[in-house]
Amino acid sequence: MTLSFLEIQNLRNLSAVKIELSPQFNLFYGANGSGKTSLLESIHYLFLARSFRTRFNKRLVNYQSNSFSIFGKIQSPHLAKTISVGLERHVNGEVKVRIDRTDAKSILEITKLLPIRLLYSESRLLLTGPSKLRRQLIDWGVFHVEHQFLQDWQHARRALKQRNMVLRNKTGRGMAKVWENELVQYSEKLNLLRKTYVELFQIVFMRVVSKLLPDIDISIHYKPGWNEEIGLLLAWEQTWQRDLELGYTQHGPHRADLVIRVNKTMAVQDVLSQGQQKLLVYGLYLTQGILLRQQTDKRCIYLLDDLPAEVDGKNKKSFAAMLPKIGGQIFLKSVDEAELSLLLGNHSAAMFHVEQGRVTIT
């Protein structure tokens, strides 16, 4: 599936935008502040109901309006018709999500239709930031493949929340064990799903990273969040007093991580340049798109915010050469139209000029 049409009203400086999109490459160019990033932001918001630029939704609404709306059409090669999706948000917090003119119960109904990955300036935090970011990387892949994952994740989260409440309220070991029995059940399910995904991920990733960083030995290793040799129940028993002092659970699926190393021992931030780190992160995300296509035949949407930054010419071309191979739909923005054209070479693309919130195809 791909996003074939996009309509935006009153999101930041995009007061009225209607554009037909290419199923492969869509390139936005124009001066800084013209609205290029807002276009990427609107696609991101349509499928995830959140911005990657701010947590304050009111800031997305055009100052002359009290709401913004985003409408899209999803085209599938396997379906004779298109699927329409829409989202409207008011400054008072009211949100409406619709699929084919029917109210949706949750944004997840849209999220499942088209997987989306964002590559932007903050993406490098995937390597240097908290384990939560790398855990989300794994869970994104599992979510789009295993239908049971979300329910298992929600059950585990609920049981963990209850155990932490017992710890904070100091209501006793017996009460904690009630929730531990449920938590261990879903923790083991999540662990198996995550471990299986990472095993497949590693195979594809090694091929991808060998193209992007051919002279560097990159390895990835999955950590479940507890010592599997002793098991979760014994781990909780051994750390009960410390958990009680801290007021939270130290071991469990909420501590899972993807450890990424150079030469198997060195942290990437201690060895790789910023440009190399950016390529490594891009390689991780490209791997997900390739693996998703292999597992489900779904196509991933990629939103690339200023690809050329911090990456030298040779590596830019190496990365650009991989884009057609992932089979995804690409949205890329830059101030330089010529550089975008050079990166893509002979591959066809829809080119859009953005100027003061107006978008025209060129």
Per DSSP, the chain holds a count of helices (H) and strands (E) of 12, 15
**Over residues 251-280, mean pLDDT:** 93
pLDDT tens digit sequence for 223-249: 999 999 999 999 999 999 999 999 999
Give the CA diameter of the chain: 68
SS (H, E, C) 276-313: HHHHHHHHHHHHHHHHHHHHHCCCCEEEEECCCCCCCH
- pLDDT given for residue 318 in this prediction: 77
Please identify, among 296, 319, 344, the residue that sits at the C-terminal boundary of a domain.
296
Q: What is the CATH number of the domain that holds 255?
A: 1.20.1050.90
Asked if pLDDT for residue 344 goes beyond 90, the answer is no
Instruction: Specify whether 163 is located in the same domain as 105.
Output: no
pLDDT tens digit sequence for 121-169: 888 899 999 999 999 999 999 999 999 999 999 999 999 999 999 999 9
Length of the chain, please? 362
Asked if pLDDT for residue 198 goes beyond 60, the answer is yes
**Over residues 334-356, mean pLDDT:** 78
Q: Classify the C-alpha dihedral 278-284-290-293 as positive or negative.
A: negative
- pLDDT given for residue 307 in this prediction: 63
pTM above 0.85, yes or no: yes
What backbone torsions phi and psi does residue 167 show, to the nearest 5 degrees?
-65, -45
Range of the domain at 71: 1-114+299-362
More confident residue, 341 or 36: 36
Instruction: Specify whether 254 is located in the same domain as 336.
Output: no
Total domains in the chain come to 2
The rounded Cα 269 to chain-centroid distance in angstroms is 21
Q: Pairing state of beta strands 95-99 and 83-90? A: antiparallel
pLDDT tens digit sequence for 285-331: 999 999 999 998 888 999 998 665 566 767 777 777 788 778 889 99
Instruction: Specify whether 292 is located in the same domain as 231.
Output: yes
Q: What is the CATH number of the domain that holds 34?
A: 3.40.50.300
| Cα gap 205→330, rounded to integer Å | 19
- pLDDT given for residue 7 in this prediction: 97
Please identify, among 246, 270, 296, the residue that sits at the C-terminal boundary of a domain.
296
- pLDDT given for residue 320 in this prediction: 77
Asked if pLDDT for residue 40 goes beyond 80, the answer is yes
pLDDT tens digit sequence for 45-75: 999 999 999 999 999 999 889 999 999 999 8
**Over residues 64-89, mean pLDDT:** 89
Please identify, among 296, 331, 347, the residue that sits at the C-terminal boundary of a domain.
296
Instruction: Specify whether 10 is located in the same domain as 149.
Output: no
Instruction: Specify whether 131 is located in the same domain as 273.
Output: yes
Token readout for 52 is 């990657």
- pLDDT given for residue 353 in this prediction: 93
Mean pLDDT of the chain: 91
Instruction: Specify whether 337 is located in the same domain as 266.
Output: no
